[in-house]
Structure 1
């Protein structure tokens, strides 16, 4: 009769993927009792290996060693009920874990948005930035900047750098054109650039699973109105040049009525290309 293969504690440890220390503990608590050879060393058989694999499964289900011992040794142990109870406990833990994950993701989104806002404001005077942030917080429903940070969560830091540079260059050019009529070719070309910047950043700040089809005529009128009606926007534009907000507002109205209104489909596509 062929002798059953024997395994040392280290061999079984490698086969099952558990530590030698764990096997020693299972022996101590009576969960997995090995044979002892003539020298007193622990020896295990394939039967032990199968039993150990069962123990590992129950441990993965987070059963206590005490309950596993009952499962393996008690004839009247209600395994089905134990599994149901364990499932219920794991589902509750899963729900709690998911809440923690959601909270972490929200915190990460806020931090990314905070970084982006700081990038967009980086070349502006610190005292003005602080004032604008205070105004933003006061205007938010929650009374904090989190609402603004979350609106920038989908914008990459690289894109924030790009948008900041483009806007600063545009603002410099527009400031130099404040002495020109709002319907002049130069001013209207700059307003068109402003539209593209607005369209592009609106697109980039959308979640990847949200389809944004561009700023339309009605939406653009709301942006135009906010240049003067939103105290933060008004103050920001006035930072670049006295009278800029009013000049830009009127130039945007002219652009909306004389260019955008009859060419919405064309303009809505500008700046929407994602990398």
Structure 2
């Protein structure tokens, strides 16, 4: 039985305006009666479910539309992939909740915490916005980067993540200094060298500069990086720009 827009909105828990917007951008276009009522079929509801799964994984609507409308799109394969991604997201959230609970106890003076324990769960070794990277730099660079990670053992991947977090913490500690200072440039050089430690792909100075700009242009990246210290994303962007400009031949 077909459902009207208000019925779908109530069923799913989203606004009628959201469904109208999906129709306007041709992401989810139900059939319309002569009287102008939108009617959603069983297939429309399944498509809406796919859209909301992708949204939960932080995919932008434009990218969702591109994926779903691709001739190679396979719903079953997408469901399996989405399940794996959500399970990984749950694992990270559970770790962060444990860290948060320990931090609450620590702030009350009930327990002690090492600096390392304070950042457990903040794992940036797996980029949550891979699709954005693909759009900006193409599949080749992302695939080569992933090939290296796939070839690593779990211990090697963990060590890489810990090294990355250590660099973020070191940069956060000096984020109030000038991004062009010797100290800041030395620290950002470590980040540049870390990114280029992958033998399968090399960040040019221009790509490094562009990456820094994305840290402030994309709020998702800004929020993730600023977890190590407010204003860190902006500081890194400025430091990376100065590094790229100063090292051009």
TM-score > 0.5 by shorter chain: no
Q: TM-score, normalized by length of structure 2? A: 0.35
Report 1 or 2 for greater relative contact order, CA contacts < 8 Å, sequence distance ≥ 6. 1
Largest Rg, 1 or 2: 1
